[in-house]
Structure 1
Amino acid sequence: MSSLFRYIEACGSLSPSEAMLSGADFLLLSQLAYADFPESAATFGDALEGALLLPPSPRRFGFEHKNDRRLIAETAKSRRFSALAFLGFREKFDAEGACQFAALALQWDEETAIVAFRGTDQSFAGWKENFMLAYRSPVPAQALAVSFVAEIAERFHGSLILCGHSKGGNLAVYAAAFSEAPVRRRVREVVSLDGPGLSPADARRAEFLEIRDRVRVYIPRASLVGLLFENPPGSVYIRSRAPALQHYPYMWRIEGCDFVPVGAPTRFNAYLARTLRRFVCGMPPEMREAYVEALFKVVSSAESESVPEMLKVWRKSVPRVLGATLGIDRETRRLFRRVFWIFLRAASGRMT
């Protein structure tokens, strides 16, 4: 049984006043942000019941649908979450514009609202937007995150806590840092759950430095995602039950009502993260953009919009992708070679 389900069993009967917010609470809310909700509802329980009536997202794998729907149903019955006021849900998906965004907001108590941002789904648009973090700021989802937080801040006048898993963690940090100053001052805490950090340029800006001490980052010990780009120092490393699925929230270890901490990331993952950062920083932004465009030009030859969709027709999609790679133009091949050598130099620089 997933630790998230055990957490609901152990702590779901505790009201917000009976137990302080924990990392497990933020993980649960961030995981629920992968579901689609009605835009408005009186309580979070009503919104969760509404989510069960909506068709499952085609951009999620079947095993994720099963776990997500069970988590929705069990959270809807819990005393801890069901009676919370629901402040809204927003979602935007634009395959052409490489935009994949969703967020929900609820009122935790009289003084605090929580905004949970969705991470990357299995759409190619979502993955392309992830890659765009390497050369563009803001990406579309980051701009939408700032807008949604401003909307919630206008309707709710207390403190704000922003959280998210994967890219959702990046959106939470970005929205906290680059909201208007009056909103930024109301952000009490930011929780990034294995989310990539900000770009080096954004991490040096005064707005981020103002909120940096309010950012809490949780990273499974052998995960790579949360080590990418620039997260603040002091990340908390935690245990996951699945060596090959460290990023997957349902595998994170929870004992009692919180995560199980460990001392540090694995040496290999720390090395790999440093190598990737050196790799990205070694390319000028225009080369990063050209590389991403070339990569997704090849991926688009599969004529699918998501990984699950492509895998359903893999006998057709895989040969198309391979054919596109073989038929790639000389300039793009040269670009791939240059990127490959930059990566090798970055890796060898650490080994010497």
Structure 2
Amino acid sequence: MRNIVTYMAEEQRTFAESPFNPVDSLVFSTLAYFNYETAPPIDLSSPEGILLHDAVMLSDWKALTAHSWMEDAKDTEAFLHVLSASRRMRDVRVSFYVNERSEAVEKQFSAITLSFPSADGIVAYLAFRGTDGSFAGWKEDFNLCFKKVIPSQCTAAAYLSGVASALSCPLIVGGHSKGGNLAEYAALVTDERAFERLRGVFNHDGPSFLDSPSPRIDDERFCRLLHKTVPESSAFGMILERRADYRVVQSSAMSVFQHEPFTWLTESDDFVYQDALNPSAVFFDEALDTWLRSKTADERERFIDAIYDLLASTEASTWSEFQEKLFANTRRMLGARTKLDAETKRFIWQTLGSLGGILKNETVKRFKPSPPLWLPRRRETYDPEKGTKA
């Protein structure tokens, strides 16, 4: 099956010969996961930067892809090989690399600028990294469920502003997972001068927002720029999503494993699309949305903080470290020696119980047989105050 790896192996035209497309955006978003600091001393702070090819070839590939989903993906090595030999990518330059993490403020942020020559001149793609393997990174993602703004969003906005000041060329912003959310946020809140230079905003399976960051979200100009894509069984990318202007991409994987970019199917210079999400994804999205609306922001914050405290009690700082001693860490989390008090434990189980109840009710509704056609159906009316049918 064709994916972004086979796409890069076969597409050897330059960007001047064949315009930038959505598949290129997912490739660039994947490049944001590289640990560019692991390469031999190179200057990525200047606008000129260095050739992407040099950054890749001078690096230890294991270190370059460590601490992200790429570390275990089966196509990572093939991706690096075709990237190294790609005529399309040969003139891409990387600059303005930033990588920040703070446990204190629950922040994980990284971005890279990828500049390439098009038929109309140089274009710069600002690629925002999605969530890494750290607990701090995942905690910040979960904070989206109760915070209007998270630290990485503020940094993404500042990053776009800084790059726009340093470069005079057209700009594209994008990212995968949380990186897609950061790209959207930066485009929504940036100043008008920088916004007018944007040629595209790409969100590949990233969540939406608790509240609209800016009135610009309904601006026709922004809607024309936005390209949101989610895999057919998307869970993460549909969190808090209220709009219908996304496209559904077919995947070679099952369930949550479709989040991995290497599983997205491509055809020529675009993805393979389908009309709607799979029924299982719609079911999960509706159940999760119902659960989120059933809890106050304070309750969601308390629940997420409690789960994070449980993970922190294992003394692991990443998912890989947690999995190294999976049985022992799980027993420590759930055992009597956990640091959580009895009331917090009770709160966690009650919250999980409410989620389980909602999933059960959604399952019953979904699989409940329809009444015979000869029976009169109850008339449903819409209650505008409750936002539900009565």
Q: Give the TM-score normalised by structure 1.
A: 0.90
Deviates more, 1:126-135 or 1:227-236: 227-236
Deviations 1:67-90 (A, max 9, x none): 445423431321111212323211
| Gap change, CA 1:50 and 1:220, over 3 Å in 2 | same
2:270 maps to 1:238: no
2:239 aligned with 1:228: yes
**Aligned pair 1:84/2:89, yes or no?**
no
Match of 1:22 in 2: 21
Structure 1 residue 35 corresponds to structure 2 residue 34:
yes
Q: Give the AA of the match of 2:332.
A: R
Number of the residue aligned with 2:143: 132
User: Map of 1:134-173 to 2, 5 A cutoff?
Assistant: 134-173=145-184
1:173 Cα offset (Å): 0.6
Match for residue 301 of structure 1? Answer: 313
Is the 1:37–1:47 contact (alpha carbons within 8 Å) kept by the matching residues of 2?
Answer: yes
Larger Rg: 2
- Aligned AA for 2:50? A
Q: Is this contact kept in 1: 2:69–2:260, CA < 8 A? A: no
Pair 53,217 (structure 1): closer, same or farther in 2 beyond 3 Å: closer
Distance in 2, Cα, partners of 1:58 & 1:322 = 29
Given that 1:192 and 1:216 are in contact with CA atoms closer than 8 Å, whether structure 2 keeps it comes out as yes
8 A Cα contact 1:52 1:69, kept in partner? no
Which has the larger share of helix?
Answer: 1
Do 2:69 and 2:132's aligned partners in 1 also have CA atoms closer than 8 Å? no
Q: 1:142, 1:174 within 8 Å by CA — same for their partners in 2?
A: yes
Residue 45 of structure 1: CA displacement? 2.0
Map of 1:107 onto structure 2: 115
Residue equivalent to 1:217: 228
CA distance in 1, matches of 2:353, 2:317: 30
Deviations 1:104-155 (A, max 9, x none): 1122332521111111112111111110011113212111111111111011
CA distance in 2: counterparts of 1:350 and 1:323, whole angstroms: 31
Q: Are 2:219 and 1:207 equivalent residues in the alignment?
A: no
Q: Distance in 2 between matches of 1:2 and 1:317?
A: 39
Aligned pair in 2 of structure 1 residues 280, 51: CA closer, same or farther (>3 Å)? Answer: farther
RMSD: 2.5
Deviations 1:174-206 (A, max 9, x none): 11111223222322211111111122x126x31
Aligned counterpart in structure 1 of residue 332 of structure 2, from 320, 323, 345: 320
The partner residue of 2:185 within 136, 160, 174 is 174
Do the aligned partners of 2:70 and 2:76 also contact (CA within 8 Å) in 1?
no
Of 15-24 and 227-236, deviating more is: 227-236
Distance 1:101 1:51 in 2: 21
Inter-partner Cα distance in structure 2 for 1:69 and 1:51: 13
Moved more, 177-186 or 246-255: 177-186
Whichever residue aligns with residue 49 of structure 1, its letter is M
Residue matched to 1:10: 10
Secondary structure of 1:55's partner? Answer: helix
Is the 2:310–2:338 contact (alpha carbons within 8 Å) kept by the matching residues of 1?
Answer: no
Of the structure 1 ranges 104-113 and 44-53, higher mean CA displacement relative to structure 2 is found in 44-53
CA drift at 1:47: 2.6
Pairs aligned (count): 349
| Gap change, CA 1:96 and 1:54, over 3 Å in 2 | farther
- Give 1:51 deviation, angstroms: 4.2
Structure 1 residue runs of 5 or longer lacking an equivalent are none
Match for residue 292 of structure 2?
A: 280
Report the counterpart of residue 379 of structure 2 in structure 1: none
Q: Given the superposition, is the C-alpha separation of residues 350 and 174 from structure 1 closer, same or farther in structure 2, using an over 3 Å criterion? A: farther
Q: In the alignment, which of 115, 119, 139 is matched to residue 130 of structure 2?
A: 119
Q: Secondary structure in 2 aligned to 1:107?
A: strand
